[in-house]
Structure 1
Amino acid sequence: MKVSGGVRSFFCLVLGLALLGGVWASTTAGASAREQSTPGTLKIAAEQEPSCMDWIGSCAGASWGIWAAGIETLPQALTVTPAGDYTPSSVLAGEPILEIGPPQKITYNINAAAVWSDNTPITSTDFEYTWKQIATGKDIYDKTGYEDIASIDTTDPKVAVVTFSEPFSGWRDLFGGFSFILPSHLLEGKNRAKIMKDGYSFSGGPWKLEGGKSGWKKTKSITLVPNQNYWGDKPLIGTVIFQFITESASEIQAVKSGQVSSAYPQPQIGALDQLSENPELKYEVSFGSVFEAFWLNAKAFPMDSLAVRKSLIYATDRQAIVDEIVKPSVNEGRVLQSFIVPTFPQYYEPAFSIYGTSANLSKVNELMTADGWKKGSDGIWAKGGRKAEFDVQTTAGNEARELTEQLWQSQLTQAGFKVTIKNPSADVLFGINGPKGRFAAALYAQVGTPDPSLCGIFCSANIPTKKNGFVGNNWTRLTSAAIDTPWTAVDSELDATARTISVKEGQNALAAEAVSIPLYQKPNIFVWNTAQIGGPLQDNPTLGPFFNLNLWYLK
């Protein structure tokens, strides 16, 4: 999802005093903090380890890698505020200039002070290099929009003029969103993926990996130190360690005991009660751009049948999942009826309301019988000698997701489906099984930007295959002209009204094709120890709560 000029708001529950500063970026806050900051080391819990640090590669599917290292060490043209606004980052000298055309053009004026960590200026050639790597490279995570660029004028080193071959309405996410500008002077003519995969020594952000590759100790931690050549607000803390704690209970205990000073845990039953036991802890609960779903692989049996996919939605008591998983975690929650969150009322279409929110076994029986399925003596549907059985995967160690799987398994058993739970580690799920289609159903969250485009995860052109090197984010692997037509229009339509119409048509198409099962808008919990750290601390539903880590300070 990308932007079309809208503002994303989110709802918060804050315990304790008001947020410190509560601003997007504040040099004033940084100045006062600099006076009271003490040097030292900050430890933060990270519940997932990235599969790689080649952020444009297909292995870079885990959001935690972006939050803990990507946005800390590499520049973006536009960045997203906690409220959902796109704003120029420190690498730009002002707002990009849009020319509708045709052809569509975007002019980026680069900050004269912007340099890489080796003091080499950040230039238009870096934009050009990044574009070509994504548009023409192999094993790329997402090429959306970059393939629509015809050229980048680099005549002026500090002005990048991007010309499109086709209109692209989501242009604000290019060279930003979940990708970054890369240093052409260090990577041109070399194997970018090999150089970056396990960490890198360069930086264009406020932080850099300590010792380059050695800053990422696999299975243990990511360590950041200040980039002394950063031209913006330099970090106030000497060392930041993101410590991998992948089990939910251990993560909560780590922040309660003071082993770490901050965490961003996924909601777990009773988590808020546990955090409230320590009076030094403050937490914020927000509902933003993250949504949880059961993702169905349409190339896997029996998900290759539309009747089966619809039956699975009817068999899923989504209200029970919200009532038993979400509400006990954060005291509120509701069933999500689309793959766009209702925080965007201008785009949100509750298309999946046609399936209701509770289980409807009579509809399951009707659909399955009409599709030629019959129940055996074991109560499981069968057709052509094959049973309606499949596996479901999620990130191992996530208690709430594991409980959700167990609920779903029980619900589907009653409906005549046999489900086996097989949970890999996050790096295997997002780095291997997802891209290569080695799953039938998977439970995980998508993190969107403020733009409503969903073509990247649902259009046929973005299905990863062996032929294309497993490039693309449509892990549902469903080929559907009914889905492709409105969502490709969303990406190319520059008129806001016409685009909104296509967005709503696209959501209805996703529901009609029963592409996957949206569950709920996922609440985020951001917690920190007020006795140990201060600064303008707040969640950013798109970029995570560490987006302004350079303004934090130790007490």
Structure 2
Amino acid sequence: MLVTTRSRAVKLGAFVAGAALLLSACGGGGGNSAVQTGQAFADCDANPNTCNSAQADQLQDGGDVTYVLEKNVPNWNVVSAEGNVFETGEVTKGILPYTFYATPDLKPVLNKDFVESADVTSTNPQVITYKINPKAVWSDGTPFSADDFIYNWKTQNGKDCKDCAAASTSGYDQVSSVVGSDGGKTVTATFSKPFTDWRQLWSSSGAMYPAHLAAQHGDTTTPAGLAASFKWFGTTVPTWSGGPWKISKFVNNQSVTMVPNDKFWGTKPKLASVIFRVITDATQEPTALQNNEVQAIYPQPQVDLVNQVKNMPNISSYIGLGLQWEHFDLNLKSKALGDKALRQALFTAVNRKDMIAKTVGQFTDKVQPLNNHNFMPQQAGYKDVISSTGQGTGDIEKAKKILTDAGYKINGTQLMDPSGAAIAPLRIRYTVGNQIRQNECELFAQAAAQLGVKVNVSSTDDLGTTTTTGDYDIIVFAWVSSPFVFGGAVQNWTTDQGNNYGKYSNPQVDSLIGQANAETDQTKASDLLNQADQLMANDAYVLPLYQKPTFLAASDKIANLRNNSTLDGPVYNMAEWGIRK
């Protein structure tokens, strides 16, 4: 699961990214658009996987497309805690190999360019056997092999490399062995206990880095060598590729230029290049689109931004709902927020319906308060675990009662803790340039003020570093998920996991999520996960706000580009993009 600054849990990563075995998606999966303009995306609600299509003979040979990236890429290792950011996932999608990816209907699909098959070949113990595409090679000609699976397993299993700060060890820590055969083209992964979301492993929610290059930057048979290579992948701009694209140029804080990988064995891209242009101020994106400086934007929708794009000629736009969700997170290492009563009171004081009406409700009427931390309403397993807590209702009197029952006192405009000490001001953070997030933070601060708690609002231009270092008391962002709910829950909510930024820990929650993650019966797994989620909701660690709308706007000339409200994003099929003749 990636975290997003358009906000994300990616981080793949919002970069996200985490989350669910194949779950049923109703209502057209990534559909439910409330705004659709132009003709290119007209049938995306009904046909999310095929809308805006064109055959290869209808496309020009060559051409360039510039796509806006809302954040710079400071770390190139998308499976690391720091690099697991949505924008990094977008850029690396075209160069990293992976076993499964998510399509716009929110379902996982096997990436046959990389693996011809991935099958459960035993259930006791659970064994997954992968057959690598024999044509698959890294851009230097080195064939893909079991070594790549083994290296990426070791850096993420939490055992072989304690100093590899992986975004998640979920699932990898349940693999007891990874063995190659058939000259390294068959990979056999054996599990110490079943893993519900086995499709998540080595998938696009993390993807794979080349073992042979890792070995040049550390002895990958030792923990220190694994850590050194893992760090090198984060600090070094990739000149290598294992996908249809390769990076030809990176200008820090400006752009990333991708060109076709001439060593790619599958269908070659039609475009000559895709340029990811870094624009961190979303208000500048419509102008860039109108002036044809960029041809596609994927910002967090803002009222003015959506309205500007609506009236542009030869531009189509689409709003959808999928596996992205907005939330407030608390840092439990913050002295005051270590107390559950204060956390519960703050979340109870927040009025989610009012917040939605004053933010995303300005441009879509489809968004409602979200009442689960793992499942989206389109997914089987969705259950309301929030309403019973009273959180998100804006009930100030109830919030005050929670505090007074716990021994707090409100002295004028200042809340005093049970010892008589004043609650120090708290700091809430959001991504710079995001007006909706800024508004959400200000509304949170206004609610807290009614309880005698001062909350100062400040922005960050590096969400990955801010979250991983815990440089906040409260923060708002969005997780962008894959369809793998159970593995994502481990990644986000269990003790000491990479995406558990606020350091939440509840042994009962850990146990229930662990059971869900090892349960092969989908219904039982969902029930266990919802039991854990109810406990976590009661603990008031994260308040889900709403299923986050995604907004894609692009030139009508670009074919095969479409919304994908998962951590894979619109770039999931970038090799198919082209310019209409």
Give 1:65's match in structure 2, choosing from 83, 88, 97: 88
Residue aligning to 2:166: 140
**In structure 1, distance between residues paired with 2:166 and 2:127:** 24
**In structure 1, distance between residues paired with 2:547 and 2:562:** 22
Residues 342, 88 of structure 1: alpha-carbon distance in 2 compared, 3 angstrom cutoff: closer
1:444 matched to 2:440? The reply is no
Residues 25, 180 of structure 1: alpha-carbon distance in 2 compared, 3 angstrom cutoff: farther
Unaligned runs of 5+ in 1: 463-471
**In structure 1, distance between residues paired with 2:533 and 2:120:** 28
2:170 corresponds to which letter in structure 1?
T
Residue aligning to 1:340: 374
Residue aligning to 2:450: 414
Equivalent residue runs for 1:305-316 within 5 Å: 305-316=339-350
CA-CA distance at 1:196 after TM superposition: 4.4
Residue aligning to 1:2: 19
> How many residues matched?
534
Farther off after superposition, 189-198 or 387-396: 189-198
Residues 429, 458 of structure 2: 8 Å contact kept: yes
Residue aligning to 1:105: 127
Residue aligning to 2:8: none
Residues 344, 539 of structure 1: alpha-carbon distance in 2 compared, 3 angstrom cutoff: closer
**In structure 1, distance between residues paired with 2:287 and 2:372:** 34
Residues 257, 189 of structure 1: alpha-carbon distance in 2 compared, 3 angstrom cutoff: closer
Identity within the alignment, %: 24
Farther off after superposition, 125-134 or 308-317: 125-134
1:525 matched to 2:551? The reply is yes
**In structure 2, distance between residues paired with 1:239 and 1:87:** 26
Farther off after superposition, 327-336 or 73-82: 327-336
**In structure 2, distance between residues paired with 1:82 and 1:39:** 26
Give 2:60's match in structure 1, choosing from 22, 37, 55: 37
Residues 318, 563 of structure 2: 8 Å contact kept: yes
Residue aligning to 1:542: 567
CA-CA distance at 1:278 after TM superposition: 0.5
Residue aligning to 2:429: 393
1:318 matched to 2:352? The reply is yes
Residue aligning to 2:11: none
Residues 347, 177 of structure 1: alpha-carbon distance in 2 compared, 3 angstrom cutoff: farther
**In structure 1, distance between residues paired with 2:79 and 2:271:** 28
1:315-335 superposed Cα distances (whole Å, 9 cap, x missing partner): 101111111101113343111
SS at match of 2:277: strand
Residue aligning to 2:385: 351
Residue aligning to 1:364: 399
Residue aligning to 2:136: 114
**In structure 1, distance between residues paired with 2:54 and 2:118:** 27
1:293-344 superposed Cα distances (whole Å, 9 cap, x missing partner): 0001112121101101110111101111111101113343111112134334
Residue aligning to 1:478: 504
SS at match of 2:571: coil
**In structure 1, distance between residues paired with 2:252 and 2:357:** 37
CA-CA distance at 1:30 after TM superposition: 5.0
Residues 12, 281 of structure 1: alpha-carbon distance in 2 compared, 3 angstrom cutoff: farther
CA-CA distance at 1:101 after TM superposition: 2.7
Residues 90, 232 of structure 1: 8 Å contact kept: no
Residues 31, 48 of structure 2: 8 Å contact kept: no
**In structure 2, distance between residues paired with 1:117 and 1:24:** 29
CA-CA distance at 1:228 after TM superposition: 0.8
CA-CA distance at 1:204 after TM superposition: 0.8
1:69-92 superposed Cα distances (whole Å, 9 cap, x missing partner): 221111101111111222110344
**In structure 2, distance between residues paired with 1:93 and 1:375:** 61
**In structure 2, distance between residues paired with 1:342 and 1:534:** 29
**In structure 1, distance between residues paired with 2:571 and 2:513:** 32
Residues 79, 87 of structure 1: 8 Å contact kept: yes
Residue aligning to 1:125: 147
**In structure 2, distance between residues paired with 1:230 and 1:438:** 42
SS at match of 1:500: helix
1:494-533 superposed Cα distances (whole Å, 9 cap, x missing partner): 12222121022122112111121111000000110114x2
**In structure 2, distance between residues paired with 1:550 and 1:270:** 32
Unaligned runs of 5+ in 2: 1-17, 218-227
After superposition, the CA RMSD in angstroms is 2.1
TM-score, normalization by structure 1: 0.91
**In structure 2, distance between residues paired with 1:389 and 1:314:** 19
Residues 29, 551 of structure 1: 8 Å contact kept: no
Residues 322, 334 of structure 1: 8 Å contact kept: yes
CA-CA distance at 1:24 after TM superposition: 4.5
**In structure 1, distance between residues paired with 2:423 and 2:316:** 50
1:360 corresponds to which letter in structure 2?
D
1:394-416 superposed Cα distances (whole Å, 9 cap, x missing partner): 11111111111112111221232
1:50 matched to 2:73? The reply is yes
Residues 103, 572 of structure 2: 8 Å contact kept: no
**In structure 2, distance between residues paired with 1:424 and 1:484:** 31
Residues 222, 243 of structure 1: 8 Å contact kept: yes
SS at match of 1:528: strand
2:99 corresponds to which letter in structure 1?
A
TM-score, normalization by structure 2: 0.88
1:487 matched to 2:513? The reply is yes
Residue aligning to 1:551: 576
Farther off after superposition, 131-140 or 239-248: 131-140
